Amino acid sequence: MKRSDVLAHLRIAGYHDDTRSFVRLYTENRVSLAVANAEWRRGGKMKAAGVPCTCRECKDNQQLANRSVDKPGALQK
């Protein structure tokens, strides 16, 4: 995994307060603890500021929610 990908995943872990993913990413990749903690805090600050998450799961959920708003009853079938 590229360093930029690791940093993005650490940020996402901080956004979701996911300590398990944070520890796994930190131990499996060559990132200093200071950098990992900074990305964790940055993710938490993004959530507090109301910035939408960029992870695949959140994007999929948002698209699903948008479809249900566009077509009421579309998900009930």
Q: Block means of pLDDT (10 residues each) for the chain, length 77 residues?
A: 94 96 96 97 96 88 77 56
pLDDT at res. 29:
95
Number of domains, the chain: 1
What does the pLDDT read at residue 72? 58
Range of the domain at 36: 3-70
Residue 32 has a pLDDT of: 96
Does residue 30 lie within any of the structural domains? yes
Judge whether 75 lies within some domain.
Answer: no
For residue 18, the model assigns a pLDDT of 96
Q: Is residue 32 part of a domain?
A: yes
Within a domain: 58: yes
Taking the model in full, what pTM does it have? 0.79
Burial pattern 27-63, b for ≥16 Cβ within 10 A else e, equals: eebebeeeebeebbeebbebeeeeeebebeeeeeeee
pLDDT of residue 46: 95
Identify whether 13 is part of a domain: yes
